[in-house]
Amino acid sequence: MKRVFSGVQPSGVLHLGNYFGAIRRFVDFQDGYDCYYCIVDLHAITVYQDPKELPKQIQDTALYYLAAGLDPKKTTLFVQSDVPCHAELSWILECVATFGELSRMTQFKDKAEGKESVSAGLFTYPVLMAADILLYDTDIVPVGEDQKQHVELCRDLAERFNSRYGETFKMPEPFIPQFGSRIKSLQDPNKKMSKSDPDPNSYISLDDPKDEIVKKIRRAVTDSGREIIYLPEEKPAIANLMTIYALCTGKSLPEIEQHFSGKGYADFKKDLADVVIQELMPVQERYKDYRNSGDLPHILREGAVKANQVSSGVLKRAKERLGLSLLIDPTQRKF
């Protein structure tokens, strides 16, 4: 069976972009693939997280994975910091990565822009992501468009390590959905929807109540004109809203254009709010069911045990190639 790995940061409440660009795709892979899905809390702390809030954010991210349809019997769900190999392989790969290539990562540039000081962890974030992926001998990495450059870096690091030290890592392929891989901000269609956007009107969170969804969609920016047509260059705001509509309903863009022909933005936004609510209400119900069931700690413990087993084998392989000690008990060192 081919192996799939991906992760989501517990850096806030998940939004429609995370849902359509990532976790709903994760569910598609669970039949027929060996899936490892991670709550990447070590990535989240590259920017400040309130230590009182972080445990709840980790729990909620895991609950939303389950609420979106992940079956813990079919997939391995775990928290990154429960598996120490991630941090260890990350350091090893940092010694293979170059300062120049990390400086070219656009996500770092975006996140660092305008800030007086950023953590070194934010700079080396893509290397930790490479370690996450390579530790599971991953074949496929489902991600949104924004992570494409990071998966490419992961492949470069794997290739460089393999040619320097001998065949060690499997070469992963990104899987970026053709549609929905870059849901845009509702307030600025030039930016992606993001949980750390200071304007809450820019995103729809998976836990937004119905009236909030209606309000946010009503306030979403539109383009000039009044026609509902898909022209991403000329009408990026409407194209984004149509993308969300298509993802919620399964309708094609020409079908949507035809359905709203002769109608204006107000009618379209009203229907869009309805279909988003129809998509998200069952997710919110399942979230509550999983939270009330109390099953989560057990699911995450089992996931961590399995993830530790697999990743420690790959880390051992890498350390062997490097000529590093494999001893679990350092008091047994012989030379």
Of 76 and 205, which CB lies nearer to ligand AQP in the complex structure? 205
Catalytic residue among 2, 109, 115, 192: 192
Question: How far is 19 from 24, CA to CA, in rounded Å?
Answer: 6
Partners of residue 4 on adjacent β-strands: 35, 140
Determine contact, residues 3/34, Cβ cutoff 8 Å: yes
Partners of residue 75 on adjacent β-strands: 35
Question: How far is 101 from 99, CA to CA, in rounded Å?
Answer: 6
Q: Active-site residue 251, yes or no?
A: no
Of 95 and 120, which CB lies nearer to ligand AQP in the complex structure? 120
Question: How far is 318 from 324, CA to CA, in rounded Å?
Answer: 9
Beta strands 34-39 and 75-79 are: parallel
List of E strands, the chain: 3-8, 34-39, 75-79, 140-142, 173-175
Of 76 and 202, which CB lies nearer to ligand AQP in the complex structure? 202
Q: Active-site residue 319, yes or no?
A: no
Shortest reach from residue 186's CB to ligand AQP, in Å: 11
For residue 335 the two structure tokens come to 């030379």
Of 184 and 269, which CB lies nearer to ligand AQP in the complex structure? 184
Determine contact, residues 78/300, Cβ cutoff 8 Å: yes
Shortest reach from residue 262's CB to ligand AQP, in Å: 31
Shortest reach from residue 313's CB to ligand AQP, in Å: 25
Shortest reach from residue 132's CB to ligand AQP, in Å: 11
- Starting at the edge strand found earlier in the chain, the sheet holding 34-39 runs 75-79, 34-39, 3-8, 140-142, 173-175
Shortest reach from residue 11's CB to ligand AQP, in Å: 3
Rg (CA), the chain: 21
Q: Active-site residue 191, yes or no?
A: no
Catalytic residue among 2, 74, 109, 111: 111
Of 9 and 30, which CB lies nearer to ligand AQP in the complex structure? 9
Shortest reach from residue 54's CB to ligand AQP, in Å: 13
Question: Closest CB to ligand AQP belongs to which residue?
Answer: 21
Catalytic residue among 184, 195, 216, 269: 195
For residue 167 the two structure tokens come to 């065949």
Of 46 and 76, which CB lies nearer to ligand AQP in the complex structure? 46
Cα–Cα distances (Å) from 111 to 54, 63, 106, 197, 239, in that order, read 20, 27, 9, 11, 25
State the CB neighbour count (10 A cutoff) for residue 331: 5
Task: Report the interface residues with ligand AQP, using CB under 6 A.
Answer: 8-9, 11, 17-18, 21-22, 143-144, 146-147, 181-183, 192-196
Rounded to 5 degrees, what are φ and ψ at 141?
A: -120, 100
Q: What is the set of active-site residues?
A: 111, 192, 195
